[in-house]
Amino acid sequence: MTNKVLEFTNVSFHYQATNASKPTAIFDQVDWHVHEGEFVSIIGPSGYGKSTLFRLVTGLENPDSGEISLNGEVTTKRLGKVGYMPQQDLLMPWRTILENVQLPVELQGGKPTADQIIQLLADFGLAGEENAYPGNLSGGMRQRVSFLRTILTGSNVLLLDEPFSALDAITRLTMQEWLIDQWQKLDKTIVFITHDIDEALFLSDRIFVLAERPVQTIREVIVPLSRPRTMRDLARPELMELKEQLISELRSEARL
């Protein structure tokens, strides 16, 4: 069994809304882990703690109790030790693509090498775009830039928060296939939030389901597909059955 690169041990967290009289419990004594080199997805209805989980992993929020370890280290200062890619690409419109990609290296006090980054852009299908500005790129191209910038944080654990949700269906499919290729080349661990069950099934080794409030157990679903895989594999009877089970579970919980 590979090492655990991310682990929650007995983690509880409450959120205090400004207009609420008492805090709301989000996680209640949760245990959860991700192994080195895995691609895992997190699904659940809106408001069930998916983004809060990422905030806890990055250290933007800290648990009320319990421990969160990253690469075996328990610390509250995890931002910068984990790569985070939000839903929006957050590229700076006044900086060129090259300058945007250089940003994480600059923030770490390094001296980014333009030639190396230009080669990485070419590897990501962005050859010749280094002097373009974000407004001149398509949505899929901007997400590739954002992903490259996330990789250059140097982290071995990457958190991707619905990165393809704003893309059209064809571009989204292309980006899913592209992401799998990059993950296999880069030897990273990816934790991926999505509302799209097909996307989760296609991309993931395991799917974690947040389907209760507060979350006490993060249910694990092992995707019964080997790699390499194609979208056609999702039409297999066992995958169709699993998809229907997940949809039914999330719908029933969302109606509560």
Give me the CATH number covering residue 32: 3.40.50.300
Cis peptide before 228 (omega within 30 of 0): yes
Q: Are residues 164 and 186 in the same domain?
A: yes
Q: Are residues 103 and 202 in the same domain?
A: no
| Last residue within a domain, chosen from 154, 173, 192 | 154
Residue pLDDT, tens place only, 108-151: 766 657 888 888 899 898 999 999 999 999 999 999 999 999 98
Helix, strand or coil, per DSSP, at residue 114:
helix
Q: Are residues 76 and 177 in the same domain?
A: yes
- Selection from 76, 65, 53 nearest residue 9 by Cα: 65
Q: Are residues 149 and 174 in the same domain?
A: no
The answer on pLDDT for 255 being more than 60 is: no
Write out the two tokens for 11. Answer: 């983690």
Residue pLDDT, tens place only, 55-79: 999 999 999 999 999 999 987 777 7
Range of the domain at 182: 4-82+157-254
Q: Are residues 137 and 15 in the same domain?
A: no
Domain count, the chain: 2
* All residues at 6 or more sequence positions from 231 whose CB lies less than 8 Å from its CB, including other chains: 173, 202
Q: Are residues 106 and 29 in the same domain?
A: no
Q: Are residues 171 and 123 in the same domain?
A: no
Other C-beta atoms lying within 10 Å of the C-beta of residue 205 = 16
Q: Are residues 67 and 168 in the same domain?
A: yes
Q: pTM for the full model? A: 0.92
Residue pLDDT, tens place only, 178-207: 999 999 999 899 999 999 999 999 999 999
